[in-house]
Amino acid sequence: MFRILISDKLGAAGLELLDQAEDVQYDMKTGLSKEELMAILPEYDALIVRSGTQADADVLAAGKNLKVVGRAGVGIDNIDVDAASKRGIIVMNTPTANNIATAEQAMALMLSVSRHTAPAHNSLAEGRWDRAKYVGYELYGKTLGIVGFGRIGRLVAERAQAFGMNVIAYDPYVAKEVGRDMGVTLVELEDLFPAADYITLHTAYTPETDKIIGTKSLEQMKDGVVIINGARGKLVDEQALAEALKSGKVRAAGVDVYSQEPPQNNPLIGLPQVVHTPHLGASTKEAQRAVATNMVEQVLDALRGTDFRHAVNLPFKADPSA
């Protein structure tokens, strides 16, 4: 009998699959401290997390019987993949389940900041009729620069093209032919920054992409550029972006992710040029169902040894006694 711990909220559709599995027992215990998680983890064969649980090296070491850590979502920066690999633990994610939801969120933020949707709504709700104050901009004819041209980046490109935008993209791991087939020009980052009217981030967070939007890169951009971040908060130097917004270098920003979540003392919060959402990229009924069911199916298959799809590492026992 396999035992699975779910330490962040998981959709009901995924729990229903677990209820139907005859070879599995599971517990969903959310809001655990690191110490509480480490205390109970030795009892389990698998751990399913979202973005809230930090499965660092200490936590993984406590999971003496762990075989699988499943990330219900795409980003795995809250899991120490190297530590998992050395302990023979498979790490897997659900890279396709919430792609459409995330791409649509990026477009929603782009449209909202362009047409002043949030402040215009608030103004009207307060009884004012300030039409002249909220004259916006069209997406049509503008150049969109996409940083990260994976699954989500490509979905954003298709949607932006439907609005008549010219799309360029940067991704060192994608062949130029892939972009050419989609009518997208792949360029170097230093060429994307000065060419784009809008820049949207869809890359993973790594040491190389840390604060990819910062003081130096902002200086390279057009005056009046618009920044959209629905990927990872740490891709952006938030203080540098705040200063660029205040100076007018950046006209507006749409932000769904933050370096610390929930944000505390964040310099972007409250700026009138910024539309904020609380990490809603994957928050659709359809995406939540797909994330939950995909994750449960993958973890069950991995525990049973029948399939290891979407594993992001090649686990091995660095020390068989560990």
List active site positions. 232, 261, 279
Using alpha carbons, select from 56, 90, 80 the residue that is nearest to residue 295. 90
Phi/psi for 215 (5° steps) reads -55, -45
Instruction: Confirm if 51 and 78 have CB atoms less than 8 A apart.
Output: yes
Locate 273 and state its tokens: 């040029």
Amino acid at 256: D
Report the b/e string of 161-174 with b at 16+ CB within 10 A. eeeebbbbbbbeeb
Count other Cβ atoms within 10 Å, centred on residue 216.
11
Count other Cβ atoms within 10 Å, centred on residue 241.
25
Locate 262 and state its tokens: 């929930």
DSSP at 171? -
Q: Rounded CA gap, 4 and 7, in Å?
A: 10
Using alpha carbons, select from 82, 39, 76, 74 the residue that is nearest to residue 57. 82
Using alpha carbons, select from 29, 85, 33, 96 the residue that is nearest to residue 57. 85
Count other Cβ atoms within 10 Å, centred on residue 272.
9
